[in-house]
């Protein structure tokens, strides 16, 4: 049955505007989904913090810019932190607008990992879906997601099974993976380049371990990503010889993939239960195999010997050994895995199935 075109409202993360890089992987997910769902014929309205912008091929999307100050990031709070809503916070305003606009849409999709929208959705007779972007970083969020998914499991989707395993779910989780624009990434066959690392420069990403690998091999490590924690970065630089790290900054996707594609391997060192691992997939998209800790999403996405290698979490010497073995992996296989598993088309279809199944079953019941 061909699904009618849906009129969808997307509500972005309250952590920085889209295009700033501060929203981490959520920005990439949101833009891929917009592109994928537009190409499936759906209409999207985006509600996002002021200054947010989208790529030119998303010009059919109405962006509703909302003023206000960021929600503090869960990554910088202790596990038992209470919910804080800052004065003039953007989060309540995003949802004030969403509950108004959402009245005329078939569904609202929430990209923020925040208590307010998830909590309020249980009382609202609208189709509000939550794409959960992180593993267990907060006790109060974990409890809320577990409780509400017990009563309405189809409202929640996760990127990987490993991420979903952080939550004590009573039913099999809805896992939707992630999606990328195939044409944004160019396959590069040369496997003799440097070692690379990509990610927000922040303690949960474990950059220090990747630097230790490069240092033990007497090589430079190329680092791309948003410099979120300058003290953390300076401490790493101070604990290794001068020049071991070359920070390349947070680059737009086109520039990133050009440089990343030159690497012989990406080293991925998550210290937390990374929900998915966008950077792992972006590397594979360019033909770069990934050597990673067997932790979180990367541990699920990497097929050892095919698109990368997995080592026990936090085992730096095993990383060093794996880096010497990575040349056995065919770079073309990394690209093939990417095309078959993580294209924006495949991802958008999974999201369309998730939302439309709910809409169809609910209509049957009403
Ligand atoms: N913190 N409060 C809050 N809300 C978010 O949506 C959020 C966050 N921290 C990190 C983050 N989102 C994203 O960078 C990750 O979900 C990828």
Q: Are residues 79 and 137 in the same domain?
A: yes
Pocket, ligand 1, Cβ cutoff 6 A: 13-15, 23-26, 71, 73-75, 112-114, 133-134
For residue 2, being part of any structural domain is answered with no
Q: Are residues 315 and 259 in the same domain?
A: yes
Q: Are residues 176 and 193 in the same domain?
A: no
For residue 21, being part of any structural domain is answered with yes
Residue 276 is classified by DSSP as S
pLDDT tens digits, 133-158:
999 999 999 999 999 999 999 999 99
Pairing relationship of beta strands 107-110 and 7-11 according to DSSP bridges: parallel
pLDDT at position 365 over 90 = no
For residue 318, being part of any structural domain is answered with yes
CA neighbor of 15 nearest in space, from 69, 64, 67: 69
Q: Are residues 105 and 135 in the same domain?
A: yes
Between the alpha carbon of residue 96 and those of residues 18, 137, 192, 339, 360, the distances in Å are 19, 26, 52, 38, 27
For residue 132, being part of any structural domain is answered with yes
Q: Are residues 248 and 302 in the same domain?
A: yes
Q: Are residues 336 and 288 in the same domain?
A: yes
Pairing relationship of beta strands 195-198 and 265-268 according to DSSP bridges: parallel
The percentage of residues in the chain with a pLDDT greater than 70, rounded to a whole number, is: 98
In the predicted model, what is the mean pLDDT of residues 318-338?
97
For residue 168, being part of any structural domain is answered with yes
Q: Are residues 313 and 206 in the same domain?
A: yes
Residue 25 CA to ligand 1 centre (angstroms): 9
State the CATH number of the domain containing residue 317.
Answer: 3.40.50.2000
Range of the domain at 201: 182-341
Q: What distance in Å separates the CA atoms of residue 176 and residue 157, rounded to the nearest whole number? A: 7
Pick the residue whose CA is nearest to atom 9 on ligand 1. 73
Q: Are residues 215 and 160 in the same domain?
A: no
Q: Are residues 326 and 283 in the same domain?
A: yes
Pick the residue whose CA is nearest to atom 11 on ligand 1. 23
pLDDT tens digits, 242-286:
999 999 999 999 999 999 999 999 999 999 889 999 999 999 999
Q: Are residues 67 and 26 in the same domain?
A: yes
Beta strands in 172-315 (DSSP E): 195-198, 221-224, 245-249, 265-268, 290-293, 308-311
Number of domains the chain contains: 2
pLDDT tens digits, 144-202:
999 999 999 999 999 999 999 999 999 999 999 999 999 999 999 999 999 999 998 99
For residue 45, being part of any structural domain is answered with yes
Ligand 1 atom closest to Cα of 22?
Answer: 14
Q: How does the average pLDDT of the chain come out, rounded?
A: 95
Q: Are residues 44 and 151 in the same domain?
A: yes
Q: Which of 19, 73, 82, 202 to mutate to test the pocket of ligand 1 (most atoms within 8 A of CB)?
A: 73
pLDDT tens digits, 58-106:
999 999 999 999 999 998 899 999 999 999 999 999 999 999 999 999 9
Q: Which of 12, 16, 23 to mutate to test the pocket of ligand 1 (most atoms within 8 A of CB)?
A: 23
For residue 1, being part of any structural domain is answered with no
Rg of the chain over Cα atoms, rounded to whole angstroms, equals: 20
Q: Are residues 121 and 238 in the same domain?
A: no
């Amino acid at each position: 049955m061909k699904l009618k075109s849906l009129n969808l409202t997307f509500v972005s993360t309250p952590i920085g505007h889209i295009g700033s890089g501060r929203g981490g992987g959520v920005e990439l997910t949101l833009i891929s989904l917009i592109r994928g769902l537009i190409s499936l014929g759906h209409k999207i309205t985006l509600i996002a913090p002021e200054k947010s912008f989208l790529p030119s091929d998303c010009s059919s999307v109405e962006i509703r810019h909302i003023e206000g100050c960021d929600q503090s990031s869960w990554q910088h709070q202790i596990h038992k932190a209470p919910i804080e809503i800052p004065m003039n916070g953007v989060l309540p305003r995003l949802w004030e607008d969403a509950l108004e606009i959402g009245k005329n849409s078939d569904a609202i999709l929430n990209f923020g990992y925040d208590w307010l929208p998830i909590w309020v959705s249980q009382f609202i007779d609208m189709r509000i879906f939550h794409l959960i972007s992180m593993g267990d970083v907060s006790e109060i969020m974990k409890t809320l997601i577990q409780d509400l998914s017990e009563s309405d499991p189809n409202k929640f989707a996760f990127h990987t099974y490993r991420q979903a395993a952080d939550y004590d779910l009573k039913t099999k989780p809805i896992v939707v993976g992630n999606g990328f624009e195939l044409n944004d990434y160019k396959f590069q066959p040369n496997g003799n380049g440097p070692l690379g690392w990509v990610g927000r420069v922040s303690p949960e990403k474990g950059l220090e371990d990747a630097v230790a690998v490069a240092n033990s091999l007497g090589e430079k490590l190329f680092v791309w990503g948003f410099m979120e924690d300058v003290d953390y970065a300076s401490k790493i630089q101070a604990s290794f010889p001068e020049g071991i790290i070359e920070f390349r900054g947070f680059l737009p996707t086109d520039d990133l993939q050009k440089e990343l594609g030159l690497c012989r391997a990406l080293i991925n060192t998550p210290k937390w239960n990374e929900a998915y691992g966008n950077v792992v997939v972006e590397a594979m998209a360019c033909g770069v195999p990934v050597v990673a800790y067997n932790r979180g999403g990367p541990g699920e996405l990497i097929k050892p010997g095919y698109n990368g290698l997995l080592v026990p979490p936090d085992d730096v010497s095993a990383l060093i050994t794996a880096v010497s073995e990575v040349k056995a992996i065919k770079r073309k296989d990394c690209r093939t895995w990417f095309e078959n598993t993580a294209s924006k088309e495949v991802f958008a279809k999974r999201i369309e199935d998730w939302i439309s199944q709910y809409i169809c079953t609910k209509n049957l019941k009403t």
